[in-house]
Structures are given as structure tokens and as C-alpha cells.
Amino acid sequence: MNIVVTGSLGNIGQPLTETLIKDGHSVKVISSHLERKESIERLGATAAIGNLADVDFLANAFKGADSAFCMIPPDYTNPDQLGYYETIARSYEQAVKASAIGRVVFLSSYGADLPAGTGFITGSYKSEQILNSITNIALTHIRPSFFYYNLLAFIGMIRSAGFIGSVYGGEDRLTMVAPKDIAVAVAEELTKTDNIKHIRYVASDDRTCREIAAVLGEAIGIPGLKWLVLPKEEVLRALKNNGMPEEFANKYVELGEAIHTGKLRADYDKHTPALGTVTLEAYAVEFAKVFADK
């Protein structure tokens, strides 16, 4: 099959591209960075360098392809995050229609079933709705859970305070995922031949925050590491004091509250997937290496 992969050679894009090429598919990788061209071609893929907001570029990249993996790369420099999501989703919508590509796999998020109250995941909800309006395509929304590497954000707190603290924690359950397991699921969806629209959740492990802290603590030499639930006001104040813009801080805390109440994973729990291969204990080895380097 002829397959287009967006997201360059990122955490998902690289293992996905390697898998597809190994399985005999022809792959075109879209990147916004010219310096990635050589690395992409070294894998055996074709590079298409351009901007995802450029509909003509995207439509041309999609032409002749059987399927495409579409993701919205993070752009934390954009003050209008929800507007950014909509811009790229609209670009995908128009390019898919113009190119007549038959299958799209979109990287969304767990919690994207909710129209509000989930922080910036609302952008994934809106993006799904935009793509759902396209007729005559097979469409899979991949909804991964909490990325393991987001736990790295707590390293500074662990070093300075000796614990993990957020608006969620303790006995709150957190379903986590490794990019490698997402890449496996995406590769499967890209190469299917059915003609349906559906949602696929992807997760690697599912633990309480207390259990996560204990596993990470053992890996970094801090047995008994705790994950505390902190008051919303305290977390907001800390985020703002550390320079996070007010809207970003408010959305971050809103997302955390959705994890704490269980609202974010409610639909996931109704459609629990088989877990991937990367366990929390396996990820903790990687976490420990980063912790030691910092």
C-alpha cells in the first residue's frame, strides 16, 4: 500500500514508518523541517517537506495514497491552542476531500468524546467532529491514553519536594501509553481494507497514581515515593509562578480535575482495549535514566 505519515520522525512517526516499510509498504513522511529529509530517506521513505496548514501541499501529498496517518503536532508557542487544532483539522478535511484518499487514521485522545471540561483535549473533540463530516472514507480515531513521557514533567518536583503532587493522585487511576504501542495500533488501522468509521482506544498499562509513584520511586532510588492530591488553587498558583500563561494553567488544571473525577476515562472504561507491550515497570527504566541525567 501507499501510505502517508504525518508527524515527521517523532515519537510515533519513526516507529510507525519503520514498521510499515518493514512490512513492504511504500511510505511518504510529511515533515515541516527540511533537515529531517535525509533521515526520512535513510529509512527508505519519501520525504514531503511542507506546512500542515497548507491545504494544497497536503492534498498533493495525499494524492495517489491508499491511506494517511494524520496527527496535530503540538505547538506550545501558539497562544490559541484550540484555534490551532481547528486550523490543522480543517486543513486535513479539505486535503482529504481534494485528494480523494480513501482511509484516514487520526491521532486523537482519550477524553475526546467530551465537548468541554477536559482542558486542551477539547481540541481533539473538535477535530474528530470536523473529520467525521467527511463522507465516503474509512476513518479511525485513535484515542491514546496518558503518554508515559508526560511523567517526566514531575522530575523537578520530585527533586525539590521529594514527592509528586497534582490535582489528581493517590488512588486516582491513570491509564498510560507508550508511543511504540500507539504506532502498532496505527499501522494495523492504516492497512485495513474495511470501509467504516470507528474509534480505537490504545493503552499500555493502567494503575493508580499511588502505584505509579511507588514503581517510579523504586526505579530512581526513592522507595516510598508518594503522589499527593493538591488543592486546585495551590497548583494554579505554582504553575503561574513558574511562568505558565494563565489560560494554559487553567486548562492544565481543568484536565487534571477530569482525571481526578474519572470523567476523562469514562468512555475509555466502556471500551477498554487490550493493553500494549510496554508496562509501567519497563517505562520506569527509561524514566530513571532521564532522572539521573537531570
CATH number at residue 275: 3.90.25.10
Cα–Cα distance between 263 and 273 in angstroms, integer?
Answer: 18
In which residue are the cell numbers 482519550 written?
110
Same domain as 257, residue 212: yes
- Give a yes or no: residue 171 inside a domain: no
Phi-psi domain of 277 (left: phi exceeds 0; alpha: psi -120 through 50; beta: other): alpha
101 by Cβ neighbours in 10 Å (0-12 / 13-18 / 19+) ranks as buried
pLDDT at 154 over 90: yes
**What pLDDT was estimated at residue 26?**
98
Mean pLDDT value of segment 41-59? 98
Same domain as 192, residue 61: yes
From the list 78, 76, 77, 105, the residue with the least C-alpha distance to 92 is: 105
Same domain as 257, residue 192: no
**What pLDDT was estimated at residue 294?**
78
Same domain as 271, residue 231: yes
Mean residue pLDDT across the chain? 97
Please say which residue of 155, 170, 202 terminates a domain. 202
Same domain as 132, residue 216: no
Burial 210-228 (b: 16+ CB within 10 A, else e): bbbbbbbbebbebeebbbe
pLDDT at 77 over 90: no
Mean pLDDT value of segment 151-170? 97
- Give a yes or no: residue 170 inside a domain: no
Residue 76 binned pLDDT confidence (cut-offs 50, 70, 90) = confident
From the list 135, 106, 141, the residue with the least C-alpha distance to 6 is: 106
Same domain as 209, residue 194: no
Residue 185 binned pLDDT confidence (cut-offs 50, 70, 90) = very high
Same domain as 268, residue 214: yes
Determine phi and psi for 166, rounding to 5 degrees.
-160, 180
- Give a yes or no: residue 9 inside a domain: yes
- Give a yes or no: residue 220 inside a domain: yes
Cα–Cα distance between 1 and 66 in angstroms, integer?
Answer: 6
Determine phi and psi for 140, rounding to 5 degrees.
-120, 125
In this predicted structure, which of 171-185, 238-252, 265-279 has the lowest mean pLDDT?
238-252
Domain count, the chain: 2
Same domain as 248, residue 133: no
Q: Which domain holds residue 102?
A: 2-146+178-202
Residue 112 binned pLDDT confidence (cut-offs 50, 70, 90) = very high
